[in-house]
Chains A and B, each alone.
Chain A
Amino acid sequence: AQSVTQLDSQVPVFEEAPVELRCNYSSSVSVYLFWYVQYPNQGLQLLLKYLSGSTLVKGINGFEAEFNKSQTSFHLRKPSVHISDTAEYFCAVSDQGQGGKLIFGQGTELSVKP
């Protein structure tokens, strides 16, 4: 079974500052990794995913994440945030089977202040 831990429940940051949202996972098998974003009063949308290949994954809106197998981490980064990045971010993991169930972390609330 897999599990996901998002290490920060809230991250306040000033506009144009860099940000890192931390995610650690545990699994006994190979996994796929995802970051989803939830803007206020909306559903979740995919930010980026790691399936295989390069460990540095680029997503939408200037976000990127790095898969680190030895540290079982998949931290999300952005070099310069905007007010519009204020949202809740969810890290998720699934095994690589066809019916792989998606397991979500607890979420990190990113608050960008002017």
Chain B
Amino acid sequence: EAQVTQNPRYLITVTGKKLTVTCSQNMNHEYMSWYRQDPGLGLRQIYYSMNVEVTDKGDVPEGYKVSRKEKRNFPLILESPSPNQTSLYFCASRPQGFGANVLTFGAGSRLTVL
């Protein structure tokens, strides 16, 4: 089944404790992206990647890092989480190409930072 898989789905952590949210897709998509969803703000892009070893900042990149060493994986790293990073996070992917802007989303990772 074609899908985007995120782990963990739920995580409670404390301020300053490094964590990684993994994202993997099995559709051979070039483009991958991370979003955070907050009430009343919709989805905001954190980082995206057009292909392996190519990453770029989205609208809200502060406090996050990403890497794209393999095509299928795009982990989101919080080096020193803070309470304002408590949110629902989504990974998404799509193929490249004109008119191909339809994203496939993961099920989400709910993160709470105490």
Contact = CB atoms under 8 A, between A and B. Distances in A.
Interface of A: 4, 6, 9, 32, 34, 36, 41-46, 49, 51, 90, 94, 96, 98-102, 104-107
Say which size band chain B's interface belongs to. Answer: 20 to 34
A106 B40 contact: yes
Given A42-B107, A90-B42, A104-B42, A51 B99 contact: yes
Contacts of B44: 104
A43 B90 contact: yes
Instruction: Give the one of A44, A100, A104 with max B CB within 10 A.
Output: A44
Instruction: Give the one of A46, A99, A102, A104 with max B CB within 10 A.
Output: A102
Given A4-B42, A46-B103, 16 more contacts: A6-B42, A41-B108, A43-B90, A44-B43, A44-B92, A44-B103, A44-B105, A45-B105, A46-B102, A49-B102, A90-B43, A98-B97, A98-B98, A104-B35, A104-B43, A106-B41
A43 B105 contact: yes
A39 to B, nearest CB: 11
B28 interface: no
Sort A-B residue pairs by CB-CB distance and give the 8 closest, nearest first: A43-B105, A104-B43, A104-B42, A106-B42, A44-B105, A43-B107, A94-B101, A51-B99
Contacts of A42: 107-108
B2 to A, nearest CB: 12
A10 B74 CA distance: 33
A43 B35 CA distance: 11
Contacts of B26: none
A95 B45 CA distance: 15
